[in-house]
Amino acid sequence: MKKQFQKVIERVILWQSRKGGQRQFVLLLSFVVGLLSGTAAVILKNTVYYTHYFITNGFHFERENYLYLAFPLTGILITVVFVKFIIKDNIGHGVSRILFAISKKNGRLKRHNTYSSMIASTITISFGGSVGLEAPIVLTGSSIGSNLGRLFGLNYKTIVIMIGCGAAGAIAGIFKAPIAALVFAIEVLMLDLTMTTLIPLLISAATGSMVAFFFMGKSVLFFTEYTDPFYLRHIPAFIALGLFTGITSLYFTRTTQRLESLMAKIRGTFTKAIAGGIILGIIIFVFPSLYGEGYEVLDAIMNGRQSDLINEGLFLPLKNQAWFLFAVILSIMLMKVAAMAITTGSGGIGGIFAPSLFVGGLSGLFAAKMINLLPFIQVSEINFILVGMAGIMSGVMHAPLTAIFLIAEITGGYELFTPLIITATISYLTIKYFEPHSIYAKRLALRGELITHHKDKAVLSMMSVKDLIETNFSTVHKDATLGDFVKVVTRSQRNVFPVIDDEMNFYGVVFINNIRDIIFDREIYDTTYIRDLMYMPSPLVDPDETMEDVAKKFSESENFNLPVIKNGRYLGFVSRAQVFSTYRKMLEDFSEE
C-alpha cells in the first residue's frame, strides 16, 4: 500500500513538473487544502461546542458555580500532560509559529501540527480556558498546506502559498467569511499580493466557506442581521470609538506580554500550570462570563441581555444599580485580557482572535453607554458592539482590513461599512504609534526573526552562510617564511591567503597586494616570516550568522571576501560575488509570477 501511494505521488510530481502543469496543480491543491482545513474547522468547532455543553450543562453565566474553581485547572493540567508527554513540542501561539516557519524554516510546519493544536485547544477551552479556537485551527490549516506542499516537492514560494491557503480555508470555515479569510492570509501572514498568490487563496477561502455552509448553515460562531441605521451625525462618535479601542488594544497587547512574561518566570511546568489554573479559576468564579471563548456572552449582549454579565450570586444587591453595570462591563473587558494571558502562560492552548472580539464587543457597549449619557446624542449599542469588535481586532492584530470585512460579513451586509472603516483605521493608527508590530509578530520582531513583505529579507533568510563557504583559498602556516609563502602563491588562483596552524586555528590573512614590493626580493625569503606580514581582517563571519547580518558586514566593510571562523578555527571565506550571484538567482525564483 505504501509503495502504491509513493508511485501516485511520483506520478503527480512528474505531471506538475511539465510545462503549465505546476500552475494547474497548485490550483487543484488549493482546493484540497481549503476542503481539508474547512472540514477541520467545522470538526473543531463542533467538538468544542458539544464538549463544552456536556461539561457545563446547567451552568448560567450570571451565577457563580464552585466548579468554576476546578474546571480551568483541570483543563490546563490535562493540556500540559498531552503537550509534554504525547506531543513533546511547543504548540502555543499558533499564528506566531506560522510566521516563524515562513521566516526561518522555509515554510516547514511539523506533521503533528495538523491535529495537535486541535486536541489541545479543545481540552483547554472546553474546561474554561479563556482563549479562542482560531489560532489553533489556523495552525492546523497552515500545517495541512505546508505538509501537502512538501509531500509533492513544491518550492518555498509555493509552500508559503499553501500555508496561506490553509489559513484562509480555516478562517472561512470558522466564520463563514471568505473575504475576511483571504484578507487575513495577506494581511496577518503577510503574503505578497500577486495573482499567483491571490487565485489559490480565493479558491481555498471559498471552499472552506462552502464546507461551513454545508455542515452548519448560519450557525457559525455568531451571526446577526440586526443592525441599526448609520447616521452621518454619528461619525464623531465612531472616531471616539476608534481612539478608545486603539488605547484598549495597547492595553491588550502590553498586558498580555507582561503577564505571559511573569508566568514564564515560574519554574516547573506543573507548578506553572497549577498556579495559573487556580488564578484563572478564581477570576472565572467572580466573572463567569469569562469561561471559554465568550461568544455566548457576545450573543447575549447583542440581544439586549446585558444583565447576564452580572454575577447574581456575588453581586445581587447591586444588580439594579445603573452605575454597577458600567463597572462590571469595564471589569470584564479588562479581566478578559488577564484571563487569556494566564491561560496561555500557564500551558493552555488557544489564541487571541476570540478574546479580541470579546473585548471589542464590550468596549463598544461601554463606549455606547457612556456616549448615551450625553443629552444631545443617542447611538446604537448594537452598532457600537459590532464596530468595537473591529476596532480591537484591528489594533491588536494590526489588521484593519481583516477586521472590517469580518464584521461586515458576519452581519450579512455592508450597512456598517463606513463606521467600520473609520473606527478600525483610527484604532490601527493609534496603536501603531506605540507598537510597530502586532501581538503576533512582536515576539519574532524582537528576536529579528520576522519577515514581512520585504523581499530582500525574505530572500536573505533563505540563504545560508554554510552553503556559501568557499574553501579554494590556499592556506599558509603561521611559522612559514616568505620563501615558503612564494611557493604557495605559485599554486594559488587567489590573492588572499589565510594564516593557520596545524589545528586550523585562524591567525589572520596575508593580502598579496600589501607585499608586492618584497615578494620578489629573494634575499629576505629566509629571514622574513609570515607572522610579520599578516594582519587580522575585520569583520569575521560565524557560519551560524544570518545572511542579513553578513550582507550588512559586506556593506559596512566594503571587503570582497570575509573569513568564516567557528570557535577560532578557519573554515573558508564567503565572497561578495558569490553572495550577490546567489541572491539574484533566488530573487528571480522568489518573484516569478
Q: Please give, one letter per residue, the 3-state secondary structure of 429-465.
A: HHHHHHCCCCCCCHHHHHCCCCCCCCHHHHHHHCCCH
Q: 588-591 — which CB contacts under 8 Å span 24+ positions? A: 589/155, 589/157, 590/156, 590/157, 590/455, 590/458, 590/459, 590/462, 591/455
Q: What are the cell numbers at 5?
A: 501511494
Q: Tell me which residue has cell 462590571.
A: 328
State yes or no: pLDDT of 538 exceeds 90: no
Q: Tell me which residue has cell 494547474.
A: 24
Give per-residue pLDDT as tens, 163-194.
999 999 999 998 888 999 999 998 888 776 67
d(CA 65, CA 47) in angstroms, rounded, equals 24
Local confidence band at 461 (pLDDT 50, 70, 90 cut-offs): low
CB 241 within 8 A of CB 384: yes
State yes or no: pLDDT of 117 exceeds 70: yes
Cα maximum dimension of the chain: 106
State yes or no: pLDDT of 467 exceeds 90: no
Mean pLDDT of 40-62: 79
Give per-residue pLDDT as tens, 570-582.
998 888 888 888 8
Local confidence band at 526 (pLDDT 50, 70, 90 cut-offs): confident
Q: Tell me which residue has cell 491571490.
A: 198
State yes or no: pLDDT of 451 exceeds 60: no
Q: How much of the chain, in percent, has pLDDT values that exceed 90?
A: 40
In the CATH scheme, what is the homologous superfamily, with its name and number, of domain 458-591? CBS-domain (3.10.580.10)
Greater pLDDT, 589 or 346: 346
Q: What are the cell numbers at 275?
A: 498556579
| pLDDT at residue 313, rounded to an integer | 61
State yes or no: pLDDT of 123 exceeds 80: yes
Give per-residue pLDDT as tens, 4-24.
656 666 666 666 656 555 778
Length of the chain in terms of residues written:
593
Across the chain, mean pLDDT equals: 85
d(CA 356, CA 364) in angstroms, rounded, equals 12
Give per-residue pLDDT as tens, 366-388.
999 999 999 888 999 999 999 99
d(CA 85, CA 270) in angstroms, rounded, equals 12
- Domain residue ranges of the chain, discontinuous segments joined by +: 458-591
Q: How far is CA 14 from CA 7, 23, 157, 396, 590, in A?
A: 10, 13, 19, 44, 22
Element (H, E) at 562: strand 561-566
Greater pLDDT, 265 or 15: 265
State yes or no: pLDDT of 137 exceeds 60: yes
Mean pLDDT of 303-327: 73
- Least confident range from 46-50, 199-203, 437-441: namely 437-441
Q: Please give, one letter per residue, the 3-state secondary structure of 304-363.
A: CCHHHHCCHHHHHHHCCCHHHHHHHHHHHHHHHHHHHHHHHHCCCCCECHHHHHHHHHHH
Mean pLDDT of 256-279: 93
Q: What are the cell numbers at 158?
A: 509555493
Omega before residue 136 within 30° of 0, cis: no
The candidate with the shortest Cα–Cα distance to 539, out of 548, 526, 552, is 552
DSSP-assigned letters across all residues of 371-414: HTTSTT----HHHHHHHHHHHHHHHHHT-HHHHHHHHHHHTTSS
State yes or no: pLDDT of 593 exceeds 50: no
* Cα separation of the two ends of the chain: 37
- Regarding beta strands 506-511 and 476-477, do their DSSP bridges make them parallel or antiparallel, or are they unpaired? unpaired
pTM: 0.80
Greater pLDDT, 174 or 589: 174
Instruction: List CB contacts of 107: < 8 A, sequence separation 6 or more.
Output: 101, 146, 149, 156, 159, 160, 162, 163
d(CA 338, CA 329) in angstroms, rounded, equals 15
Coil vs helix vs strand at 293: coil
